[in-house]
Structures are given as C-alpha cells and as structure tokens.
Structure 1
Amino acid sequence: MPRRWLPLLALLLCAGTGPGPAHAADTVETSGDILRVALPLAAWGMTFQRDDQPGRLQFYKAFGATVAGTLMLKTVIDKERPDDDGEDDAFPSGHAATAFSGASFIQRRYGWRMGAPAYAVAGYVGWTRIDADKHDGWDVLAGAALATALTHAFVTPHIGNVDVTAKIAADGWYFGLTARW
C-alpha cells in the first residue's frame, strides 16, 4: 500500500473503535470522542507518510503544549459544565483543543488543501461537545484558539523539499534552511 494512504488508514482504524452507541445522541457524542483522537493521529501519521522528521518534532511540541495548556487552564479556571454534572473543568474544551491541534498542524505544515477538510472535522468535534451539553461555545472557541495559536507558534510551513525553521534562544535568534534534492 502506498505510504500516502497511512493517515487515512489511521483515521479509519480510529473510527472503527469504541463501544456501540445506544441512541442518536450517543452517536454524535461518540463520533466527537473518536475524531478528537483521529485528527491529531492523522496529523502525526502525515509526518511519517511524507518522511517529515522536522515536522514530526514540531507536531510533538505543538500538541504537547496544547495538552499542557488545556490542562493548566482547566485546573486554574473553575467553570461548570452546562450539563450540571458537578464537574468544574469545562474551560477550555479539551476535545476541541486536541482536534484543532491536529487540524491546525495539517493546515500550517501542509497547506489549506489538506487543512480545510481537517478544520471542518475539528469544527464538527466542537459542535458535538455543545450538542452533548458538555461545553458552551466559549469553551469550544477557547480550546480551538489555544490549539491554533500554539500550533502557529511551534510549526513552520513545509515548502516542498525545503524546511525553514526559526528558534529564539537566550543568546539570540536562529534561522535554519534545509533542502532535499
């Protein structure tokens, strides 16, 4: 099988996991649960499919920062979920953050042709959280904004066979250019 199909295969494998839902509301919520994992997994898989080791490292940084930032904000900000289940970790939406981390990585690194459908899927994940009464729009928007901002901070666009990197260190700014031919 050509390597370009690996991200799609990973997405399909994730979509086939999980318990069978009891009714339509569970189906929507479960689909969001699956896709919030599938999007970052697809983004990560694309770095292997494209033999993009610098992109993989950037993915790790952006995704790790997104998860850490989301957990930190959930700990610091006590906001109850709309479903009145007594949990006070609504802000920001972790589902939206992880989904948008994957989508924004795909768009930032590989362009809008791949990124636009990924953003549509991430938007659907956010909607599932509102539909399931786990979050309001502000929670979802905050998770999406956090992930997108951190991705833009850590990820550079992949330009064909050229990688451009930048780093800010205590002793100055560093820029790198790598070309393959």
Structure 2
Amino acid sequence: MSAMERVSKSLKFIIIYVALFSGMNSLFAQTKYVESHLKPTFTDGWDTGGLLILGTGTVLGIAAHQYDDKVKRWFNKESRLGSGLTDFGNSFGTRYVNIVAAGIQMIWDRSNGLSHLEGLLGTNLMVFIMKKSIHRTRPNGENEDSFPSGHTSTAFASSGSLSYAYGWKAAIPAYTLTTLTLLARLEDNKHWLSDLVVATSIGVFWARSSGIHHHYLTPLIFNEGGGIQFSAPF
C-alpha cells in the first residue's frame, strides 16, 4: 500500500466522524451539545486519573519493549489462534465496525451511544497523530504504522465505553473480544507487544474521558421548566 493510499484510508474515518458529529451538532444545538458533551470529552480526561492511565501505559510499554522480539518469535513458530479466530479478532478491532456499533447503540440509548462515539473519535485521532509522528515499522515490514495499534486501542475504547454504560454484564463479553483482537494482531505479525500495551492505555483513557461526564448530575432545560437527570454505571 502506497503512502498516498494509507493517508486516503486514514482520512476516510475522519470524514465519517465529521459527518456524524456535524449532524449531531445540528440535532443537539438547542442543548449546546458541543459545549456540554463533546468539549468535556477532550478536556475532562486529563485529570490525575487520566494521566495515571497514560503514564502507566507508557511505563508498561517501555517494559514490554524488551520482549518484543521474543513474543514475535513465539507467535511466528506456529498458529496460536487459527485463521477463523484471528480474522474475527481483527474485524472486532476495526474502526468501521465500532463506529457502526456506536451508531446502532444511539438508536436505543442516545446518551451512552454518544459517549461511545466520542471515545472512538478521541482514540482514533490520537492514534492517527502518533502513527504519523513516530513511524515505527511493523514486525512484518509492511509499513511504518505499527505504533500504536489502532485495532487494539479502538477495541479497548469500545469495551470501556460499554462497561461504563452497562457494567460487568457488558464488560465481560466486550473485554473477551478485545483480548482476542490484541492476540490477533500478534498472530498476524502486525504489531509488536509494546504497540499493544500502549494502545490499551489509549483506549482505556478515551473511554474514561468520554464516559465520566455522562455519568453525573446533568441539568435539563425545557420550554416548560427544568430538572436534573442522574446517571451512573452499574
């Protein structure tokens, strides 16, 4: 894949996000959606808890770096998952699958669906910037988009968002599938172990950042009056 093709592919998901959020911004203009929801996603997460997540991911990523070659050789010896599970794990981590999932979620749970979509937006923007800045070569030599793993960070962002919204009932199956995505990236020789460790922290960070302001007391203003809505993960 040429550099131009990679850039074109990366820009596609940005266009999708812009289209989705442009429509939602118009839809929620009366409730100041951008100010009360989208903006906090990109600002509230940089607190002590958020920085601890990213810091821990960085430290663990540095520690994992010394095992990159060893893990690569172990997975290259023979198939550990099989083609079926590998393909499924790769599919679960694609940004397009997760965008569609968040869109469907919005149909029956608008608030948490928005949180999910916001988390995916933050995750993929950060990953895009890091990939284009760091240029780490993949283990298979395919290109220089290895660090961090977009599939892994996206899967963890989705799993985290679903966990914030619905608790352990969603967390168990979601994180099981996310682990499969992580292993599939190693199985396919697409990423180094350290790529995945750092990507995990990125996904968790943005899931938290998009979720924390959706789960507190929220003022509601209507033409007829007002009120307060409370929501929290369970």
CA distance in 2, matches of 1:96, 1:129: 8
Change (3 A) 1:40 1:122: farther
- Whether 1:45 and 2:104 are equivalent positions in the alignment is yes
TM superposition shift of 1:78:
1.8
**Aligned residue in 2 for 1:114:** 170
CA distance in 2, matches of 1:141, 1:127: 12
**Contact persistence 1:77–1:91 (CA under 8 A):** yes
5+ long unaligned stretches in structure 1: 1-22, 167-175
CA distance in 1, matches of 2:217, 2:129: 28
TM superposition shift of 1:152:
0.3
DSSP-derived class of the 1:142 partner: helix
**Aligned residue in 2 for 1:67:** 124
**Aligned residue in 2 for 1:76:** 133
| TM-score (structure 1 length as normaliser) | 0.67
Aligned residues: 142
1:1-181 equivalences under 5 Å are: 26-37=83-94, 38=97, 41-48=100-107, 51-85=108-142, 87-156=143-212, 164=216, 177-178=228-229
Which structure has greater strand proportion?
1
Change (3 A) 1:47 1:116: farther
TM superposition shift of 1:147:
0.9
RMSD: 2.8
Q: Deviations over 1:94-113 (max 9, x none)?
A: 11011111111111111112
Identity %: 22
Change (3 A) 1:53 1:165: farther
CA distance in 1, matches of 2:114, 2:102: 12
Change (3 A) 1:137 1:164: same
TM superposition shift of 1:84:
2.2
5+ long unaligned stretches in structure 2: 1-78, 219-226
CA distance in 2, matches of 1:84, 1:57: 37
CA distance in 2, matches of 1:114, 1:69: 25
Change (3 A) 1:29 1:47: same
Change (3 A) 1:60 1:40: closer
Change (3 A) 1:40 1:99: farther
Change (3 A) 1:82 1:42: same
Which structure has greater helix proportion?
2
Letter of the 1:77 counterpart: I
